[in-house]
Structure 1
Amino acid sequence: MDTVEEAYSLKLISEVKVSKKGIFHTETWIDENKYKSSLFLNGSRLTFGGKETSPQYDGEYLYYVVDGKTLVRQRPYGEPEKLFSLGKVHKYAFHKDGILVVGERKENKETHFVAGKLKYRFDGRGLLRTRMSLFLYNEKGLTPLIEGDFDVTDVVTNGKRIVISATKEGDDYGLADLYEVEGNELRRITGGEGGIYAVAMNEKGEVAYLGHRKGKTPWAVKEVILPERGESYLCGNYCGNSVLSDLFDGAKEKLIFDKDEVITTGQVGGRVNLYRIADGKVDQLTEGNIVVRTFDYVDGDLAYVYTTPEKPSILVYPRGDSKTPFEYDPNPKVRGIKPEEVNGEVQGWAIIVDKNAPTILFIHGGPHTAYGYSYFIEFQFFAKHGFNVIYSNPRGSQGYGEEFAKACVGDWGGKDMEDIMKFVKTVKEKYGLSGKIGVTGGSYGGFMTNWIVTKTDEFSAAVSERSISNLVSMCGTSDIGFWFNVVESGLDDPWKQESIDKLMKMSPIYYVKNVKTPTMLIHGEEDYRCPIEQAEQFFMALKMNGIDTELVRYHGDGHEHARRGRPENMKDRLRRKLDWFNKYLR
């Protein structure tokens, strides 16, 4: 962990699939500044191209996706057979008529683009020249079934019935519904408005989804909903996983509907475990201070992948009642420093290497995500370089109930900042810290970093990433700012005079004359979520006011630059943050 190369030398398990042959998994790593991935069976490597993901075994063929674009199938010991290619293949599922595919056509970036709706670009995708559509592949080739100026975000089938989730009704705002596909027609299943983040179907054709029906409410607690039964269930305090990590495994929200059981993750504070819903009851399947990243469940057979602050990625296959579960650790020599939980008014953690050492406060984004018991490359890197690392879940964080998550709405920089500053005071007193303190965060954490340096001089240095400085300009430049900033600020229309006034007074740029803290700004040039103009404004203001500042711009990176950015940029970013904090905190 002494170098950034060592910090990013991890191997991560990004997918797991239970089959009659055993456990398939996808392993992801960085090699020569490129992401690589291969398929493994029962811990042994199967493929060697370095671009294989999404394994499925039908009893005869192994199917998988190459380079995110091409579906292939392969018999044991046979050569892989290319079936079809798209611009992107997001998911595929087996149906009696062929293979259902959620994918995007290849885009033509050479032509002009005309925007006609509010959502015309999206972070990680750029200008929406193509949309996610539903295709059917069979002996006739690849045929489009459902496509339009919206996204098909998921597909499930029992081999006969087909159900998709799609943003057909609420595309501008990222709201989704379930639809049954009947030929080329859609029959809407869900009522109201809300978000859908994963869908599952059992053998009988019943559907369940992970999400909510609470409209444009980013703070809404997700539940497992069975819409055709009129049932909903809560796993812990929040169904799914909002606990952050900077692991580059690309893990996604998931649930499994097997016979009459639904399996998914559930969050309580900073812990994420597996839960089973059956017979109208919710039971917790795993225990401990862990964060489950992904899983699979077939006929009572469970496999899952979890992370802890000490171990980046562990695959567990309990094998039913076996007393010797299969465990696979792709990083046997890696062991992170274990944090200590620090609970004052909010839940938090501290990695204390020396009470006289400098300390870095990390602030999470969202704001409705959370820190917890996941491995953080950056936390371990700074701890190994002699910094104390502290982090907490202030009001607005998920995992503590919806009222707690909603508590920062209309009050960014208010009680949430109070929680953060009280946490810092608690940690300083508990451990007798005497060194200087720095602050850093990304997205909403970048907003809070910018905000804090306008309100207090307690921090001797700051690094603000993919940040927000002006909530008004962001309403017109962000892919979601036109609605997200509005509801998060407790408003209904950002363009009223009184709304502009409130948004400006909630913006760090409004108070930038107060800043005395040396502040570095880091941003991806292709960030559509918090566009780089947010960092540019704050940088120019700081520079004109004589504050030590730098603006680091990463070409080719979007909002995920610290988690799934270009590897060379991620490494450079850690070096620059280390140099900045060494300069001002030592």
Structure 2
Amino acid sequence: MQKPEEAYSIRVIPDVKIVNKGILHTENKIEGEEYRSYIFLNFERITNKGYEASPTIRDDTLYYVNTKRNSLVMQKEFGQPEELFKLGKISKYTFHDKGILVIGEDKTDKKSPFVASKLKYRFDSRGLLRSRLSLYLFSHGELRKVVSGDFDVTDVATNGKRIIISATKEGDDYGLGDLYEVDVETGELKRITKGEGTVVAVAMNEKGEVAYLGHREGKTPWSTAKVILPELGITYQCGKTCGNHVLSDLFDGVKDRLIFEGDVIVSPGQEGGEAHLYLLSDGKSQKMTDGKIVVRSFDYKEGKLVYTYSTPEKPVVLYYEGQTYDPNPDVKGLSPQRVEVNGIEGWAIISGENNPTILFIHGGPHTAYGYAYFIEFQYFARNGYNVIYSNPRGSQGYGEEFAKACVGDWGGKDMNDLLLFVEEVKRKYNLKGKIGVTGGSYGGFMTNWLVTQTNVFSAAISERGISNLVSMCGTSDIGFWFNAVESGVTDPWTEESQMKLMRMSPIYYVKNVKTPTMLIHGEEDYRCPIEQSEQFFIALKMNGVDTILVRYQQDSHEHARRGKPKNMRDRLERKLEWFDKYLKK
């Protein structure tokens, strides 16, 4: 047996960096009701407050972000920490010949009235967009705003002279991004990218050449991401897609990035359930890492590479120059077995053929499960369950055609893939116990959908799920466009489109449900708003289905990955109680 406190007792490493003194990394852990972060130099801890993140060393001076005060701190060797400035939020900083470039937000009054005037007026985990991510320059003791507006500056790269940003200036409502060259004196912008697409990360080499991770395919969440050098007309692909879409519930908050040094670019890339690093140069893409792993963070400098990776057995391992460092030496997860059914990749952690089984369904839908540590998988396996999970059509990492296969068909081929996977796992491992199902976001949609379409499952738990694709178009931060393109409609407000969206919605078939269903939702979820679970809960209740709705205050769509620690522990306990009630008794 494992308790939720044990499950969340691990340490994670969100950041690694090569500096002139060796290796910097940060370690995050949960202490009581807080996430705490500490900085390590060459594997020795050098900060103690627990609010230090995003470190670097420049000219023998340590810089880092104080996450409690939202300030940038400078600490000279053998000196005391000195706070340089504060903001409402600091997302990134980097060094320019004229000072420190910073992406951040102003602090705002969250209690004053708010007036919405555009489609994108709130965003999950950020709330109402009272302030936007801007580019600042800190120079000679003063912080000056360089680029700002009713859009977000999402990344910045510089060689000390030239400055390139990515921003949502042209397509903010729809999450589209472009590259711009910035005049640091005037804030004037010169657009570099053409067409419409996304920009995930930006990098620049010493010569001022620019590369970005993303695509130019417009509003297409399923599109394969590439590394693009827009001014040189060069494009690279890493595995099946550049970037890492393999899910984990580790609370490290890692995001994709690029390194561009000399004529070499280092990028993450995914193939199936693995995520690796790729060296891009001379028109070629060369894999730098191997094995059944998911690389989560990395740095590259002067031919040296440091990275962290996750496996089903290990939350995180840091690798540098042939050496490994494990911040969780006593943690050893149960190993899954790979199962392939009709070309669909999946995995099974089998704790016993007589034990009940839980099917987990990932969100996205264009993400994937794979070889990353999953706190929740290990928790249920340690508590007497078989844990099974797969990547049905729609998942990323198997090519664009595969990822697009669920578009306009949510609950069609993807559902069939999942049901066939369940049948094959039952047969292969001679499983005799009852079967439950759970998932979050799109996985919550699919959980809701499955209980309206089949009675295969003896219990279900839908998290941050979707029940009504029509109402979500008007309540989600992205639903007005995301639901439309994913459902294969242009305008979600025509009668024909609304009927298609309704027929793709679990609520339309709620009269069919017999399965006991728990619904879990964060009160501040703006991606799949809590009204989605409220509708399904009331409908199930009125139709005599055993159901409860668990609402977590102050939690967003990230409630299972970065929620309030007490809520995350409570969530695991409640899920176990629900499945124990219907699958074990």
Judge same fold: TM > 0.5, yes or no: yes
| 3-state SS of 1:235 partner | coil
User: Which of residues 428, 434, 437 in structure 1 aligns to 2:435?
Assistant: 437
Partner of 1:393: 391
What is the identity, as a one-letter code, of the residue corresponding to 1:18?
A: I
- Report how many aligned residue pairs link the two structures: 580
| 3-state SS of 1:547 partner | coil
| 3-state SS of 1:411 partner | coil
Structure 1 CA distance for aligned equivalents of residues 278 and 46 of structure 2: 31
Q: CA deviation at 1:140?
A: 4.7
Partner of 1:322: none
User: Which of residues 295, 304, 308 in structure 2 aligns to 1:305?
Assistant: 308
User: Which of residues 412, 416, 419 in structure 2 aligns to 1:418?
Assistant: 416
Deviations for 1:342-393, whole angstroms, at most 9, x for unmatched residues?
Answer: 0112000000010110000000000000000000000000000010000000
Q: CA deviation at 1:326?
A: 2.4
Would the aligned equivalents of 2:84 and 2:141 in 1 still touch at CA under 8 Å?
no
Partner of 2:150: 149
What is the identity, as a one-letter code, of the residue corresponding to 2:22?
A: G
Structure 1 CA distance for aligned equivalents of residues 318 and 210 of structure 2: 28
Structure 1 CA distance for aligned equivalents of residues 578 and 60 of structure 2: 56
Partner of 2:299: 296
Partner of 1:106: 107
Taking the TM superposition and a 5 Å limit, the aligned residue runs for 1:424-503 are 424-503=422-501
Partner of 1:176: 177
Structure 2 CA distance for aligned equivalents of residues 544 and 477 of structure 1: 24
| 3-state SS of 1:145 partner | strand
Partner of 2:250: 247
Partner of 1:504: 502
| 3-state SS of 2:114 partner | coil
User: Which of residues 536, 539, 546 in structure 2 aligns to 1:538?
Assistant: 536
| 3-state SS of 2:60 partner | coil
Partner of 1:50: 50
Structure 2 CA distance for aligned equivalents of residues 536 and 110 of structure 1: 26
Would the aligned equivalents of 2:436 and 2:457 in 1 still touch at CA under 8 Å?
yes
Partner of 1:119: 120
Matched, 1:344 2:341: yes
Structure 2 CA distance for aligned equivalents of residues 111 and 573 of structure 1: 32
Matched, 1:264 2:267: yes
Taking the TM superposition and a 5 Å limit, the aligned residue runs for 1:358-369 are 358-369=356-367
What is the identity, as a one-letter code, of the residue corresponding to 1:143?
A: R
What is the identity, as a one-letter code, of the residue corresponding to 1:438?
A: G
Partner of 1:208: 211
Structure 1 CA distance for aligned equivalents of residues 355 and 3 of structure 2: 20
| 3-state SS of 1:426 partner | helix
Partner of 1:220: 223
| 3-state SS of 1:495 partner | coil
What is the identity, as a one-letter code, of the residue corresponding to 2:331?
A: V
TM-score, reference length from structure 2 = 0.99
What is the identity, as a one-letter code, of the residue corresponding to 2:578?
A: W
Deviations for 1:213-265, whole angstroms, at most 9, x for unmatched residues?
Answer: 00000001110000011111110001010000000011111110011100011
Structure 1 stretches of at least 4 aligned residues deviating more than 4 Å after TM superposition: none
Deviations for 1:48-88, whole angstroms, at most 9, x for unmatched residues?
Answer: 01000001111321100001610011112210111000000
What is the identity, as a one-letter code, of the residue corresponding to 2:327?
A: P
Partner of 2:327: 330
Partner of 2:407: 409
Q: CA deviation at 1:108?
A: 1.0
| 3-state SS of 1:228 partner | coil
Structure 2 CA distance for aligned equivalents of residues 446 and 409 of structure 1: 17
Would the aligned equivalents of 2:361 and 2:439 in 1 still touch at CA under 8 Å?
yes
Matched, 1:550 2:551: no
What is the identity, as a one-letter code, of the residue corresponding to 1:334?
A: V
Matched, 1:517 2:515: yes
Matched, 1:197 2:208: no
Would the aligned equivalents of 2:356 and 2:434 in 1 still touch at CA under 8 Å?
yes
Q: CA deviation at 1:33?
A: 1.6
Q: CA deviation at 1:506?
A: 0.2
| 3-state SS of 1:310 partner | coil
Structure 2 CA distance for aligned equivalents of residues 184 and 515 of structure 1: 57
Would the aligned equivalents of 2:9 and 2:29 in 1 still touch at CA under 8 Å?
yes
Matched, 1:273 2:276: yes
Of stretches 62-71 and 162-171 in structure 1, the one that deviates more from structure 2 is: 62-71
Structure 2 CA distance for aligned equivalents of residues 204 and 52 of structure 1: 32
Q: CA deviation at 1:111?
A: 1.4
Of stretches 518-527 and 58-67 in structure 1, the one that deviates more from structure 2 is: 58-67
Structure 1 CA distance for aligned equivalents of residues 246 and 60 of structure 2: 38
| 3-state SS of 1:486 partner | helix
What is the identity, as a one-letter code, of the residue corresponding to 1:341?
A: R
Partner of 1:321: none
- RMSD, aligned CA: 0.7
